[in-house]
Amino acid sequence: MQTATATAAPGWAPVSAMRLFLRRLGVVLAAGGLVALAGFWLTPYAPGGADFLNRLSPPGRAHWFGTDQLGRDIATRILYGGLWSLGLAFIVVTVGAVFGTLVGLVASRGGRVLDYALMRTTDSFFAFPELIAAVTVAGLFGPGTFNLMLALILVSWMKFARLVRSLSLSLAQRDFITQAQLNGLPEWRILWHHYLPNIAPGVLVLWTNSWSRTILAISGLSFLGFGVQPPNAEWGAMLLDGKAHMQTAPHIMIFPGLAVLSAVLAINLVGDRLRDLLAEQHQP
Amino acid sequence: MPVRSLLLRLAGLLAVLFGVSLIIFTLTYLAPGDKAMAIAHARYPDAMGFAPEILEGIRQEFHLNAPFHMQFLHWLGGFVTGDFGLSYASGAPVWDIFIDNLGETATLALAALTLGLVAALVLSSLAVWHVGGWVDRLAIILASVGAAMPGFWLGLLLILFFAAQLNWLPAYGTGTAAHLVLPALTLAFWVMASQTRLLRTFMLEAYGLPFIETLRLRGVSEREIFLRHVLRHASIPALTMIGLDLAGLLEGAVIVELTFSRGGLGALLAGSVLARDFPMVVFLVMFFAVAYVTINSVIEIVQDAVDPRSRAGGAAAARKSGAQA
Amino acid sequence: MLRLQNLSVQMGDAVLLRGISCALSRGEMLCIIGESGSGKTTLLRALQGLMPAHCDRFCFCPPGQPPVDLSGALPRGRGLRGTSWVMQDPLAALNPRRRIGASIAEGLYRDRLPPDRLKAAVTAALAEVELDAEFHDRYPAQISLGQAQRACLARALIARPALIFFDEPLSALDAMVQKQIAHRMDVLRRDRGLSYVVVTHDLGFAAAYADRILVLHKGRVAAFQDKQAFFAAPASAYARSLIGAAQALGSLTPVGAAA
C-alpha cells in the first residue's frame, strides 16, 4: 500500500482501494501462472505417461502427490487438469456473460414487448439447474467435453441477462444518461460509454461467482461420467478414474478434490472482496 | 388490482412453462440417432435387427415423420393430459417409475434440509452473539469452505473415513436408516454453509435496525430481543432463499445419490440417460424444471401478498418501464 | 426569445401542469419558484421534450438558429436545440466512470469536432468556469461537489447555447460555493448575453439575480412578474406568503442587499 501511495503523482487522489486490489490480484495471478508454467516445464512426467512399475505409489520425493492406478504422476495430472477445469469453466462463463449482457441490454432498451419476450425466455432457461441440463444434453447428444460446454453455456447466461437488465433499467433513470441523450449522442454511443462502464463491475462480480460454480459443475459432471472423459486429466474425471482404488491408496482421491476445493475457494474469496469493494464505492 | 397482478403472474408462469417444454422438446428433436430404432430396441430387447417396415410402423405410431411443430403439439398434448408415455427401457409407465423413486430423493432432501438448517441456525446465532469472536470466524470459514466444497468429494471423504476406516456406517446403497446418514450429512453440509452465511448476514442486518436500540433502551432483555425480534426478522428472507436455492438442493441430491449409489431421482436420471430412455429423461427434466418454476412463482406471489413494499416497487417498476417504451 | 402560451402536462389521469404562460427576452434571467411538487422540474423536463406536453403556442428563437414556432404537442425525446440543462445533483449528472473532460466534450457531440479542437474547446470551457485544464483527466469521485457543478456548467456552456436551464443548481452546495458559482453564472450571462431559466427554492437568490419571476403553485401559475414588481406587489396571496416566509427566516434581505 505504501508504494502505491508513494508512486501516485502529487496532487492526485490516492489510488483507490479497487485499483490497488486489482493490481495485487494481477500480481498474484501472474505469480500463480508463472508457478504453474514452471510446473509444466519442470515436471519430468507426461499427464498420460503410464508407469506400471510405480502403480499407486504414495506421495514421496519422486512423485510429490503419488501415482495413480496406472502409475501416472498425480501432481502432473493435477497441473494439466487445472487447464481443463479452470479453462473450460472460463470459456463457458465468458461466452455466457457476453451473451447474457447482450440479452439484458436489448431487453432493457428495446421496448416493452421485446423485454417481456426476452425475460420470459430467460425465466424458461432458468428452470434448468446446471447439472440437470448438462446431464440431459449428455444423455441426448452423448457425453463429452463439447456437449458439456454446450449444455453449461445454454444455462449460464440468464443470470447475466437479469443482472444487466436491472442495472440498465436503473441507469436509464440517471441524470447523466438524460444529459447524453439531450446532447444528441446516438444510442450505441450511450450504451458503450455510459451503460457498459457502469454495468461492467457488477458483471465482473457475477462472472467470478459463476466461474467458481461452473468449475464445481464441470468437475462434478465429469466425476459422474457425463463430462470430460478419462483418461483426460480433468480433476473430476481423475476422481472417477481413481474411485475404485481409493481405499487402498487414499492419496489418489485426496489431491484432485483438494485442487477443486482450493481453486473454487480462492476464486470465491476474490469475488467476495471485489463485491465488498464495489459496495464501498457506491457509498463513499 | 391484486387479482389482475395475480392473473398477470399466472400468464407469465404459463408462458415460462411453455418455453420450458419447447426447449426440452427441441433438445430431444435435435438429438442424434434414429429414435424409431431406439424404441424398437426397447420393445424387442432380444432382436438383433429390424425390418424397415417395423421401423416405419413405429415412426407412424409415434408421429416421427410429422413436421416439428406437429410433433411438438402432439407431445405437449399428451403431457398436458397426463399421458407421459412408457419408458423405453422397462416398458412401464414413466409416471409409475417416477413415483417409485420420488420417496428416496424426498427423504434425503428433507433429512439434509432439516439437519443443515438446524446446524445453520445454531452456528449463526452463536456467531452473531460475539461478532468477530472465534465462533464467528469458524462460521465464516465453514460457510466459505462449504460453498466451495465439491459434494461428491466430501461424500468420498466421508465414505473413506466412516465406512472404510472406522467401519461405523454402510458406504453404498439404500435401505436402512444407517444408509441415509452419510448422504444426508454430505448434503446437509452444503445447506448449512449457504444458510449460515445468509442467516448471519440477515441477523446482523436486523441488529442494525433502529428499533432494536429502542427496545434495549426500554430495558428489554437481549435474550428476548434475539428470540422475538432478530430471529423473526432474519428468518423471512432466509426462508425465501431456501426456495430460490431449491435447484441447488436438487442438484446436490442428484450428485450425492450417484456418489453413494443410492436409488432416487438422480440415479433414475443418470440411468435413463445412459440407457437413452428418452421418455424418462424428458419427463424427469420437465419435472425438475416445472417444480422449480412453480415453487419460485408461488414464493413471489406470497412475497407480494406479505410485503406491500415489494408490490409497490413492482408497480413503480412497471410504470417506469412503461414510461420508457 | 422564449414564449409559452397555456402549456399543460398530463400523465395518465394526473394533470401535472396547467395553463402555464410566460416569456423571456434575450439576456434575461427567469427564476421559477415554488414548493416541492409544484411542477417546477416538470416544466423544465417538458420544455426539454422529456414529458408529454401541450402548448397553445410555443416560440423559441435563439440567435443564429432557425426559430421554433409551433402549437399543439411539443416534440419528444431529443431536447431543445440551442439550450442546455444544468441539473441539481452534479454527481448524478456526471458519469462516475467517465473522465470530466469526456463528459464535458459530450456537450459538443453534434459538432463532430476533430479530437485536438475538441480538447481545446473543453479546456476553454473549463477556464470559463474557473477550473484548471488538469480537471480534464479527473473522475467525478476525485473532485468536490462545487467543482463537479462547475464541470456541469462547462458542459452546458461548451455548445454555445442561447438559453440554459438550471434545476436548483446551488441547492446541493454549501454557502461559500453557492455564492461563488452564483456569481460566476451571473458574469457569464452578462458577458455572453445568455438567457437563464433557473428553478430555485431560494428567494434571496432570485432577488439578487433574476429579471423575472414565475411562481408555481399546484401546477398553476401563481405569479409571473418582473422582479421589482414581484417584491413590491406580489400578484397573488400565495406569492405574498412566500415572500413573507422568506423574510421571517431572514434569508431574503441580506442576500438581496449583497446584490
Per-residue pLDDT, C152: 94
Side chain identity, residue B13: L
C121-156 burial, b at 16+ Cβ within 10 Å, e below that, comes to: bbbebbebbebeeebbebbbebbeebbbbbbbbbbb
- The more confident residue out of B179 and C68 is C68
Cell of B21: 417444454
Which residues 6-35 of chain B have a CB within 8 Å of chain A?
12, 15-20, 22-24, 27-28, 30-32
Calpha distance B318→A178 (Å, rounded):
20
Cell numbers found for residue B247: 435447484
Closest CA in chain A for residue C78: A182
Q: Give dist(CA C152, CA C148) in Å, integer.
A: 6
pLDDT tens figures, C168-189:
998 888 888 999 999 999 999 9
The candidate with the shortest Cα–Cα distance to A164, out of A131, A202, A216, A194, is A202
C73 phi, psi to nearest 5 deg: -75, 135
Please indicate if any CB of chain A lies within 8 Å of the CB of C103. Answer: yes
Q: With pLDDT > 90 as the criterion, what percentage of chain B qualifies?
A: 1
Residues of A in contact with B292 (CB under 8 A): 126-127, 129
State which residue of chain A sits closest to B318, comparing Cα positions: A112
Helix ranges (DSSP H) in chain C: 40-47, 90-93, 100-105, 115-128, 145-158, 175-192, 203-209, 227-232, 237-249, 252-258
Question: Would you call C159 an interface residue with chain A, using a CB distance cutoff of 8 Å?
Answer: yes
Give the model's pLDDT for residue C253: 58
For residue B2, what pLDDT band results from cuts at 50, 70 and 90? Answer: low
pLDDT at B322: 34
Residue pair C81/C66 in contact by the 8 Å Cβ criterion: no
Min distance C221 CA to chain A CA atoms (Å) = 27
Segments of chain A with pLDDT less than 50? 1-14, 283-284
Q: Residue A117 corresponds to which cell in the numbers above?
A: 419476450
The domain defined by B95-275 folds into MetI-like fold (1.10.3720)
User: Taking CA atoms, what residue in A is nearest to C47?
Assistant: A182
Sequence ranges of chain B with CATH classification 1.10.3720.10: 95-275
pLDDT recorded at residue C182: 92
Question: Which of A175, A183, A198 lies at the smallest CB-CB distance from C109?
Answer: A183
Split at pLDDT 50, 70, 90, the class of B175 is: low
d(CA C82, CA C64): 9
Nearest CA distance, C96 vs chain A (angstrom): 8
Q: Is the pLDDT reported for residue C160 higher than 80?
A: yes
Q: Is C75 left (phi over 0), alpha (psi -120 to 50) or beta?
A: beta
- Measured from the Cβ of residue B106, the count of other Cβ atoms closer than 10 Å reads 13
- ipTM of the modeled complex: 0.86
Q: How confident is the model at residue B159 (pLDDT cuts 50, 70, 90)?
A: confident
Listed range (A91-100, B10-19, C138-147) with the worst mean pLDDT: B10-19
pLDDT of B212 reads: 82
**Per-residue confidence (pLDDT) for residue A15, from 0 to 100:** 52
- The CA distance from C48 to B123, in Å, is 57
pLDDT for residue C125: 93
3-state secondary structure of B245: coil
User: Tens digits of per-residue pLDDT, A147-185?
Assistant: 888 888 988 899 999 999 999 998 988 999 999 988 888
Instruction: Tell me if B254 and A260 make a contact (CB, 8 A cut-off).
Output: no
- The reply to whether C110 touches chain A by the CB within 8 Å rule is yes
Taking the Cβ of residue C95 and every Cβ of chain A, the question of whether any pair is shorter than 8 Å is answered with: yes
**Residue C105 near residue C118, CB atoms below 8 Å:** yes
Q: Does A12 touch chain C (CB under 8 A)?
A: yes
Span B39-69, pLDDT tens digits: 777 677 677 777 888 888 888 777 777 788 8
Residue from A126, A135, A178 whose CB has the most chain B CBs within 10 Å, to mutate:
A135
Residue A88 one-letter amino acid: L
Q: Do B292 and A127 touch (CB under 8 A)?
A: yes
Residue B1 pLDDT > 90: no
Mean pLDDT of B318-324: 35
Does pLDDT of B320 surpass 50? no
How many other C-beta atoms lie within 10 A of the C-beta of residue B164? 15
Establish if B219 touches chain A: CB-CB under 8 angstroms: no
Kindly state the cell numbers that stand for C174: 454549501
Average pLDDT (B134-153) is 87
CB contact under 8 A, A184 and C94: no
Q: How many other CB atoms are found less than 10 A from the CB of residue B147?
A: 20
Of A128, A225, A253, the CB nearest to B289: A128
Cβ-nearest to A175 among C89, C98, C106: C89
- pLDDT value of position B304: 67
What mean pLDDT value characterizes chain B?
79
Amino acid B312: pLDDT: 40
Radius of gyration of chain C (CA): 18
Centre a 10 Å sphere on the Cβ of residue C235 and count the other Cβ atoms it contains.
Answer: 16
A136 contacts on B by Cβ (under 8 Å) = 24, 27, 273, 281, 285
**Which chain A residues contact residue B15 at CB under 8 A?**
120
C7: helix, strand or coil = strand
Position B308 pLDDT exceeds 70: no
**Residue A166 touches chain C, beta carbons under 8 Å:** no
* Residues 6+ positions from C132 with CB-CB distance below 8 Å: C126
Summarised one tens digit per residue, pLDDT across range B197-239 is: 888 888 888 888 888 888 888 888 888 888 888 887 777 777 6
Q: Which residue of chain C comes nearest to A195, CA vs CA?
A: C95
Residue with more model confidence, C91 or A229: C91
- Burial tier of B208 (Cβ tally within 10 Å: 0-12, 13-18, 19+): exposed
CA distance A183 to chain C (A): 6
Which residues have C-beta within 8 Å of that of residue B53, sequence separation ≥ 6?
A: none
Burial of B293 (0-12, 13-18, 19+ CB in 10 A): buried
pTM of the model: 0.82
Question: How do residues B243-288 score in pLDDT, each as one tens digit?
Answer: 667 777 888 888 888 888 888 888 888 888 777 777 888 888 888 8
Inter-chain residue contact C77 with A181, CB threshold 8 Å: yes
**8 Å CB contact of A220 and B255:** yes
Judged by a CB distance cut-off of 8 A, whether residue B132 touches chain A is no
